[in-house]
Each structure stands twice: as C-alpha cells, then as structure tokens.
Structure 1
Amino acid sequence: MAVPPDGRPLRRHRPFVLLCAEQTAGSVGRQITALALTLLAVTVLDAGPFAASVILALTYLPGAVLSPFAGVLVDRVPLRRLLVIATVLQALVVGSVPLAQATGDITWPHLYSVAVVSGSLTFTLNLGLQAALPRVVGRERLLAANSVLTGARTVGQVGGPALGGVLVGLTGTGLALTVGSAAYAVEALVLFALPTALDTPVGQRDPSGTSPTAALRTGLDVVRRERRLLRMVLAGAGLNLGSGASAALYVLYASRELRLSAWQLGMTYAAFSGATVLGIVVAGRFGTSLGLWRTTRICGLVAGAAGFLVPAASAGPAFAILLAYQISYGLAVTVWAISLTTLQQQITPAGLQGRVAGFNQAALLVTVPVGALGGGAVAAALGNVPVLVAAAAVALVSGVTLWAPVRAHSQAGVEAPLADQAQ
C-alpha cells in the first residue's frame, strides 16, 4: 500500500517534508562522522596515510559488496520499521566511539568495525529511501521530489564538514562524534514519524520460502529485461571508474604540475558546488522538456566529455580550464544523477525497488575505489596526464554507450525500439 496521494504541493506534503528533513539530518551526521573518525585516527591513534585510507575504504566497501542483498531486505521487510531500526543502530554505533574514547578504550579494531557497520547501515538506508519515495509522492512527482531531496542532501554535505571541523577544533573529536550520533538520532525520530502505511507490502511478493539468492535473481532479471536499466547501470559504472581515477589525481596534478595556488584550487571546488546547485534547479525542467531517458543520455555524454578538460589544462590557462571543467561536470552529473534515479524508480515494478537500486548502487560504488587505486598506480609509472586522458576516454565511452539503440522484447518475441519517453 502506498501513502494516500493528495493534490498538495510537495512543500505541504507532510511525509515528503519529513523525508527532506531526514536527508539533511542524515547528511550532516554522515559528514561529521566521516571527518571526525579520520581526524581521531590521525590525532589519537597516530594513523599514517595507509591506515587513514583504510577507514575510508571500509566505509564504502560494504555498499559495493552488500547492496544487492540489502536490496532484498528492503523489499521483504516492513520498510518504515527497517529505516528506523537502521538509523537507531547508526546512532548507537557512532556513539560508541566517543564513549570508548572517554574511557581510554579506543582501538583500531573498534574504529574499523565502526567504519564497516556504519557504511553498511548508510547504504541500506539509501536503498530503503529510494524504495520509499515512489510510495510517498507517487510516480508522477518523482522528478520534482528527487530534485528537492538532492538539494536537502546538499545542504548537509556543504554544512556538515564545516560544522564538524569547528567542533573538532573547539572541543576535540569526542564531542564532534557525539553530535554526529545525535544527528542520526534526530533522523530516526523523523523516520518514525513517516506514515505506517510504508510497512505494508506492495507489488508482487516473493513466494513463501523463497531464498535470498532466488529473490536476488528476481531483481537481476528486471535489470536484464529492462534494457534502459542495464544500460544506465553499465554507463554509470564506467563514468564512476573514469571520474574516480581523475578525482584521485586532481589535487596532486593541479597543485604540482599546474602550479595552482591553494585559493585557486579551492575556487575550482566552489565552482563545482555552485554547478551542483544549478543542476538541482534545472533538472526538473530538462527532464520534463526532453524526457528522462534523453536527459540521462545527454548529461552522460557531457559529463564524460568534460573530463578531457582536466588534462587539457596542462596546455592552456589552467585555472580557467579547470573552472570550466568543474562547472560543466558538476552541472551535467547532477542532472544525470537526478534523472537516472527518477527513471529507475519509474521503470522498476513495485516490490522490487530495493533490489534494482541495490544492483545499481553496487556498480556505482565499486568502480570509484577501483578507478582511484588503479589511476594512482598507473600514474606513478606513466605520469598524470596520460592517465587523466585515459580516464576521460573511459568516461566518454561510457556516456556514448547510452546512445546505442535500445531494444526491448515485444509480446510476440520480436525486438522493438524503446520509445524515448519519461515513463
């Protein structure tokens, strides 16, 4: 059963407003926690570069490995209850760190365990919220809803690190992690206020006794059958592979080879943030006027092509070219992500949202560290510019694949072109 629809604007739609509040609170909690955990490892446990990077890797690894199975869980259990329990556990897990620090019992195994469990809970929540949104707002308002939620999440991503840095600077990592835990507790309260109708099963349920593996295959069959879904998953993985390699080298390349000053480097990141905000504003207009599938293809192509501006900066006015890169890439990838998520939610049958989102999330997450580690290793031997060119080529080819003809099986068993529409 879905949340009963109504004609109110989204800003007056109580369940949706709750989801916006959840996105902001959860984003703040995650940003503070990520910063404070790393600083705690460096300042208290005297972590070196490798140990600090392991914490980040362990945060992402569960999402890359477990997302499809978390998607099965999302589709099979009462959704609202799962969201609340996962967020409460998140608050407790993060809160255990300042408690251990206060008693002098903080250890590496504890810190690594927190990174793994917190990452698992975060990516499970992401899948649960993607499955919940179509039931809260209805499929016809998904594009506008995803745009607004991206904006709410961006507020936390911008303000969270700043707040975390101030807290650590003034009071140390303990209080910062306590505030991060409190943000998760607020998130849990917000999720608890969602309609209980979200706990009611929707769509076609798996037969009683179906194994998790069989349920997983059901979701994979949807991705294989819906060619646009498969194409988006593969293209997204390729884009992340290329951008992961580029991002890993960006600061080193810009500061050492291009001789950009710290303020210039900071301005390029600020340009990306501004482009992200612009993308949030215009995503709905692009999706409505061009259709979601066409918008996804155009933005995938632009995001891939923008990567060539990074190595091109070595041959021209570096600061201006990198500004152009961050603006074009930030705008394209933001609209792409909103359009892709909306189209995925609209295509996926009810009752399978978690599994389909899980496969997509796993593909997107696993390629970022692979691209970053691979790009760094190859750049050590060949130099930054060749790797940056290769990374841009991978991203562009991934965007180009979205433009190949997409065909679906008709009822008669004959393949027919899919219409370029927003459904």
Structure 2
Amino acid sequence: MRWGLLGHGDFRRLWLADALSQFGDRINLLAVPLLAAITLRATAWQVSVLRTLETLAYLLLALQVGAWTDRMRKRRVLVAADAGRAVAFGSVPVAAAFGVLTMPQLYVVVAVAGVLSVFFEVAHRTYLPSLVPRAQLVEGNARLQANVSVAAVAAPGLSGWLVQLFGGATAVGVNAVSFLWSAAWLRRIRAPDRLPEARARAPLRREIGDGLRFVFRHPVLRAIGAHDVCVSVCQQFQITVAALFLQREVHLSPGLIGLLQAGGLTGAVLGAAVARRLGRRLGEARLMWISALAWGVGYLMIPLTTPGWGLAWYPVGNFLTGMSIVVLNVHQLSYRQAVTPERLQGRVAATSAFLYFAPGPVGSALAGVLASVAGLRGTLWLAGAGVAASALWLVCSPLRRMRRLPEAYEEERTGSHAT
C-alpha cells in the first residue's frame, strides 16, 4: 500500500488523465493572453474580454449542467469535453500557420472551450466517489490536487518558453494535444460507466433548486460558497493582469515570466504533499480558515514586485498562495463529497462550481476597467485586499468553533447527511 490509491488501476488512469488536462489548462492560462498581447497586440481590455469569455459559461450554464450530469454517464462526459477542447484549441495553430488568426477567433475558441470546461469540471468533481470508497476521498482529492500543483509549477515555465521560442500558437497547439491524451487515458478506465439510477424526473428548475437548497441550508457549505463568490471576483483581478504587469511594468520576457511563476508555485506541490498531515495535526476545520487567511497574505505580497531584488516578492507570494489554495481545496472538496447524498452529487458540485466560477466574468471585466483607472499594480493591490477580506466568511462561520470536521466521517459511516 506504499503507493496508496496509485495502486488502484482505474484511479491511476483518472489521475494521469487529470494531470494531462491540468497541464493543458495551465498552458492555456498563460499562452493565450501572451499570444494575444504579443502576436495580436491586444490591449489590457481585450485580454480581460478573453478571460471573461473563458469563464462566462459557468455563469450561464453551471447549474443546468449539474442537473444534466446527474442523469448522464460521467466518463463519457469527460472524454467528450476533452476531445472538444482539443479541436477548439487545435484550430489556433492551424489559423496561425495560414496567417489568418484574429482576436475574434480567439474569442470564439475560449468561449467554446469554456462551455466544455463546465461539463468537464462538474463531471470530474462527481466521478471520484464512484471509483474509490469514501474513506479514501481525502487521499484521492489530495493526489488530484497534486496534479494541479505540478502543472502550476511546470506548465507556466514550459508555456513561457514555448511562446518565446516557437510562438504563442505553438504553445496553444501543445495544449490541444494534452487534451487528446487525457481523453485517451479516460477511455481506458475499466470500471463500468454506469448510467445513474433511473428516477422520476422533476422539472429542471426543481432539480437545480434541490442542489442550491442543500448547499445554502448547510452552515459549513454555505460559508464555503460565500467565500468562493467573493474570492472568485478578486482572484480574477490578479489572473487577468498578472502577465501584463510582469511584461509591461517589471519588463520581463515571456520565458522569465513563466519561470518566475513556476518557481513561486512550488508551494502548491508542498500543499498537496502536506494537506492530510496538516489536517490531522491542526484539525481540518481550523486549517480551512487559516489557509484562506494565508491566501490573502500571499496575494498582498505580489504587487510589491519590482525589477531587481524586488522580484523576490512575486515567487514568495505565489508560494504562499499556491500552498494555501491547495490545502483549502483538498479539505473542502473532500468534506463536500462526503456529506452530499449520491443523488445530489452532480447538482451540489455544480452549485459549488457556479459559486466559484460564475463571478469570474464580472471579475475579469472589472479588471479591465480597474487596470485603466488604477493601473496594473493598483489592480493587484485590490485583488490582495479582496482575497484577504473574503477569508472572513470562513473565520466567522461555524468552522471557527471547530477543530475537526467530524460530520464528514460520521456521515460516511451512517449514510446520513447534514441539513
């Protein structure tokens, strides 16, 4: 059992597919705005529009997708979403090779990929409990979060150098290949891809309402959801303008931008490695609000970045941010999966995804306005202040009076759920 769940064949295939998909997402996160800024001479506003379109589908479709995926075979959804994203991003290097790549095409590509990402994210968040026992959810989520961490460390550097050496279109093409490879691993999972148990279908609005009510009536899930809404808007400020800030105010090349981000995000790898151990030592409940506060502190270090020795603020801030996000995600995701009844897994996952991602377009659009009014550095200060203030939702919730999260493990044994 030295390798834990990696000795489980189907989980190992899911883990490999997830790693490839995470690499694709991370390459895309840096390569697309750099392609727009360098090759197509995009403005800060146009880059913010790209990010807005990428996340707009979560606002428009996430809740509906949750109800639909509760009726569908999850692995089939994952494979189709990966294949579709490969086609969408694969069109970019083809257009660039013929000299016809434009900003409108990039807008369409990221919008289509955004819709497919909603299906992938919701199905992915609900697929793990069907592969492993609930007692192993924390380990499974920690290993999947490790993929996020490794991709966060390796992909920005790879993406930055791909853009510098071969151009942004090539980097996006590598992204497309990673999605195809992910789909191939998912198809090799041997566990039956069961159709959810047939039940009388209520109107879509009622099914969506069931998921919303479960989250908002549960005191811990409600606090997590409120934190996600607030932090999502502020996080988009940083994501939207960070590359432009490093290029135009700190005067770094694409390769150095990728290297700087990769070096700082090693904290995410450490977070994935120590999340379970820290949870046992400090208590999962206490660790969740501590991680949220540390995330805000990390973000407040980033706008201190300047040329020369001041560059150190960026990787230090990113290190603390990456570690905090991963630790928080491992425990809140495992908790939500454990307390949610099987019949509501898709809708509760979709509600959580909606609360986290749906405010993203608002944050991205605001980032473009703030960048033109307060400047790129000023926008990063607002991002840090907002993320730090968002932690108060968890600090002031029932989590503050708890050390452990016993409900998850009790309900895991009894099959009941909190109300």
TM score, norm. by length of structure 1: 0.79
Which of 111, 114, 135 is residue 140 of structure 1 equivalent to? 135
User: Quick one: structure 1 residues 135 and 98, their matched pair in 2 at CA, closer, same or farther if it must change by over 3 Å?
Assistant: same
- The aligned residue for residue 213 of structure 1 is 205
Q: Which of 296, 317, 324 is 1:304 aligned to?
A: 296
Q: Does the residue aligned with 2:343 lie in a helix, a strand or coil? A: coil
Alignment match of 1:198 (pick from 169, 188, 193) = 193
- What is the CA-CA distance between 1:351 and the residue it aligns to? 2.6
Maintained 8 Å contact 2:285/2:404: no
Take 2:334 and 2:362, find their aligned partners in 1: how far apart are those partners? 27
Q: Which amino acid in structure 2 is aligned with residue 18 of structure 1?
A: R
Q: CA deviation at 1:220?
A: 0.7
Identical-pair percentage:
27
Amino acid across the alignment from 1:296: M
Output the CA distance in 2 between the equivalents of 1:45 and 1:252: 14
Q: Which residue of 2 aligns with 1:414?
A: none
Match of 1:69 in 2: 64
What SS class does the counterpart of residue 194 from structure 1 fall into? coil
- Partners of 1:264 and 1:111 in 2: how far apart? 24
Q: CA 1:146/1:225 → structure 2, altered by over 3 Å: closer, same or farther?
A: same
C-alpha separation in 2, matches of 1:268 and 1:35: 12
Which residue number corresponds to residue 12 of structure 1?
Answer: 7
Aligned twin of 1:82: 77
Q: Which residue number corresponds to residue 340 of structure 1? A: 332
- Picking from 51, 54, 77, the partner of 1:56 is 51
1:234 to 220, 226, 229: 226
Kept in 1: contact 2:50–2:110 (CA 8 A) = yes
Between the aligned partners of 1:45 and 1:320, the Cα distance in structure 2 is: 30
Q: How far apart in 1 are the matches of 2:232 and 2:172? A: 30
Tell me the distance in 1 between the aligned counterparts of 2:27 and 2:259.
22
Q: 1:291 to 1:85 in 2, by over 3 A?
A: same
How far apart are residue 388 of structure 1 and its match?
6.0
- Would you say 1:94 and 2:89 are equivalent positions? yes
| Deviation of the 1:310 alpha carbon | 5.4
1:121 equivalent to 2:119? Answer no
Aligned residue for 1:346, secondary structure, equals helix
Q: CA RMSD in A?
A: 3.9
Where do residues 369-388 of structure 1 align in structure 2 (5 Å cutoff)?
A: 369-371=361-363, 373-374=365-366, 377-378=369-370, 381=373
Secondary structure of 1:207 counterpart: coil
Q: Is 1:421 the counterpart of 2:414 in the alignment?
A: no
Indicate conservation of the 8 Å contact 2:54/2:111, yes or no.
yes
The answer to whether 1:293 aligns with 2:278 is: no
Q: Which amino acid aligns with 2:176?
A: S
CA deviation vs aligned residue, 1:30-55 (integer Å, no higher than 9, x gap): 34445555555567656454444433
- Contact 2:82/2:179, CA 8 A, preserved across alignment: yes
1:23-34 → structure 2 map (5 Å cutoff): 23-33=18-28
User: What is the CA-CA distance between 1:285 and the residue it aligns to?
Assistant: 0.8
1:239: how far off? 2.5
Q: Is the 8 A contact 1:239 1:304 kept in 2?
A: no
Give the drift of 1:399: 1.4
**Structure 1 residues not aligned, in runs of 5+:** 1-5, 408-416
Q: Distance in 1 between matches of 2:52 and 2:82?
A: 21
Q: What's the offset of the Cα at 1:130?
A: 0.9
Q: Distance in 2 between matches of 1:256 and 1:100?
A: 27
Residues 307-318 of structure 1 correspond to what in structure 2 (within 5 A)?
307-309=299-301
Counterpart-to-counterpart distance in 2, 1:37 and 1:255: 14
Q: How far does residue 140 in structure 1 lie from its aligned partner after superposition?
A: 1.1
Q: 2:394 aligns with which of 398, 402, 405?
A: 402
Shift, 1:29, TM fit: 2.8
Conserved 8 A contact 2:90-2:176: yes
- Return the letter of the residue paired with 2:233: L
CA distance in 2, matches of 1:73, 1:106: 35
Amino acid at match of 2:200: P
Between the aligned partners of 1:272 and 1:182, the Cα distance in structure 2 is 26
TM-superposed deviation, 1:106: 4.8
Distance 1:252 1:286, change over 3 A: same
Residues 300-333 of structure 1: per-residue CA shift (max 9 Å, x gap): 233234545557889xx95666665333333222
Please give the secondary structure, in 2, of the residue aligned with 1:352. helix
User: Which runs of 5 or more structure 2 residues have no equivalent in the other structure?
Assistant: 409-419
Q: Which of 144, 149, 157 is residue 154 of structure 1 equivalent to?
A: 149
CA contact (8 A) 1:245 1:368 kept: no
Q: Tell me by how many angstroms 1:421 deviates.
A: 2.4
CA contact (8 A) 1:293 1:343 kept: no
CA 1:36–1:402 in 2, change beyond 3 Å: closer, same or farther? closer
- Bigger Rg over Cα: 1
Post-superposition offset of 1:74: 1.6
Supply the AA of the counterpart residue of 1:356: V
| Pairing partner for 2:349 from 357, 362, 368 | 357
> In 1, distance between residues paired with 2:315 and 2:164?
30
Contact 1:29 1:184 in 2 (8 A): yes
Shift of 1:70: 1.7
